[in-house]
């Protein structure tokens, strides 16, 4: 049976968002009887290791910042709050993919905690995302991640453990595109992502790469247009969004081309274990409150990165996509509707959805 729970909003300022008491039927939460040999029959409880590569949205820049006048807070990497591999608190208080997976496998290893740089092993763990990174930096991050895993054989059995690596990139590529369109072309963007995934494939067996699709950066432009206090932050972090030489449609167009490159990697079939989650695909407007105002608490004080509340909402959207079959995944998200439940895996296909089990799940059921 499918068991769902409605969320609890922890305070009126929407600073945090969790699902206390969430659980699913034991049949969908259990591990496989033996370690799966195929990614297409991979249950969520079979994942022993989680890690991430990417930019400041995965490093958690400013997520826990409460004072817009404190530049250090805005620069801090609040890795434990990030929507993919953050492990601060628990699911009852903060929604992240890692906190959900901990419900399936309490021994999950690799999620980040608190704040710190990638060199801070105790907190960063296997979150090797670096602020300011572009797709050109992903190969080096992949190598860093592999080395960290190899350095901890007491925690990770490289050959046997199933590993989930999350990838989100593109915001800084776009921010550099205005000044250097040739070096930040969509074709190069896709090529660089493929190179990083190839490195992971060659060095990390039993690894599934979950790619959260590129964000439409015109959302940031809209924030500046509606909130003048955001503009100085945008001029510092991404001048491209205020560049009057390009129209909003031109900016949206380049973001869509980046998105297509990511989707083409999955469609090509060259990586059997790469799954694109397109929940941001049609996210082209800032989240609005019922009164028509922009939902600023969704963002960190710099009006660019996600707040800890924003990370919770995005984490929920990522989870939704993981449960949906390829070809039927949601491509738009409602970032202000908090009433929807946190779903459980489908008992008829309780796996991370892949190209093959999305077509015929029955053959992978054991």
Q: What is the pLDDT of residues 74-130, one digit of tens each?
A: 889 999 999 999 999 999 999 999 999 999 999 999 999 999 999 999 999 999 999
What residues have CB less than 8 Å from 187, skipping those under 6 apart? Answer: 261
**Residue matched to tokens 């670096």:** 130
CA 42, chain centre distance (Å): 19
Contact partners, residue 275, CB within 8 Å, separation at least 6:
208, 209, 210, 211, 266, 322, 326, 352, 353, 354, 355
Q: How far apart are CA 248 and CA 2, in angstroms?
A: 43
Residue 6 pLDDT: 38
Q: What is the pLDDT of residue 15?
A: 65
Q: What is the pLDDT of residue 3?
A: 36
Residues 81, 18 contacting (CB under 8 angstroms) = no
**CATH code for 24-364?**
3.40.50.1110
**In the chain, which residues have pLDDT < 50?**
1-14
pLDDT of residue 71: 67
Q: What is the dihedral of CA 174, 177, 183, 188, to 10 degrees?
A: 30
Please report the pLDDT score of residue 334 as a whole number. 80
Q: Which residues pair with 210 in a beta bridge?
A: 166, 275
Which sign, positive or negative, has the C-alpha torsion 181, 170, 138, 210? Answer: negative
Domain spans in the chain, listed from the N-terminal domain onward: 24-364
Give me the count of residues in the chain.
Answer: 366
**What residues have CB less than 8 Å from 197, skipping those under 6 apart?**
142, 167, 209, 265, 271, 274
Supply the pTM of this predicted model.
0.93
């Amino acid at each position: 049976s499918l068991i769902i729970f409605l969320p609890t909003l922890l305070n009126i300022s929407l600073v945090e968002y969790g699902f206390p008491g969430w659980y699913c039927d034991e049949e969908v939460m259990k591990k496989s009887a033996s370690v799966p040999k195929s990614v297409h029959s991979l249950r969520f409880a079979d994942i022993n290791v989680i890690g991430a590569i990417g930019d400041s949205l995965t490093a958690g820049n400013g997520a826990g910042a409460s004072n817009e006048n404190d530049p250090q807070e805005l620069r801090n990497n609040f890795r434990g709050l990030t929507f993919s591999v953050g492990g601060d608190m628990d699911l009852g208080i903060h929604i992240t993919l890692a906190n959900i997976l901990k419900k399936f496998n309490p021994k999950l290893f690799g999620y980040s905690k608190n704040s710190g740089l990638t060199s801070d092993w105790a907190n960063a763990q296997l979150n090797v995302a670096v602020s300011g990174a572009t797709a050109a930096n992903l190969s080096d991050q992949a190598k860093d991640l592999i080395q960290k895993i190899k350095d901890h054989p007491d925690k990770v059995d490289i050959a046997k453990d199933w590993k989930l690596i999350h990838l989100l990139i593109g915001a800084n590529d776009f921010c550099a595109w205005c000044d250097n369109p040739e070096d930040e072309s969509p074709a190069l963007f896709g090529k660089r992502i493929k190179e990083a995934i190839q490195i992971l494939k060659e060095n990390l067996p039993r690894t599934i790469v979950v790619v959260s699709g590129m964000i439409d950066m015109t959302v940031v432009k809209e924030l500046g247009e509606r909130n003048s206090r955001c503009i100085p932050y945008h001029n510092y972090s991404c001048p491209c969004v205020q560049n009057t030489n390009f129209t909003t449609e031109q900016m949206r167009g380049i973001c869509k081309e980046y998105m297509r490159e990511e989707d083409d990697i999955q469609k090509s079939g060259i990586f059997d274990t790469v799954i694109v989650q397109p929940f941001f695909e049609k996210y082209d407007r800032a989240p609005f409150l019922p009164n028509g105002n922009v939902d600023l608490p969704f963002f960190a004080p710099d009006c660019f990165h996600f707040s800890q509340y924003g990370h919770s909402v995005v984490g929920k959207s990522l989870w939704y996509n993981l449960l949906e079959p390829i070809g039927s995944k949601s491509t738009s998200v409602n970032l202000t509707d908090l009433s929807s439940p946190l779903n459980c895996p489908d008992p008829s296909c309780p796996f991370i959805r892949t190209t093959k089990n999305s077509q015929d799940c029955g053959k992978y059921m054991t």
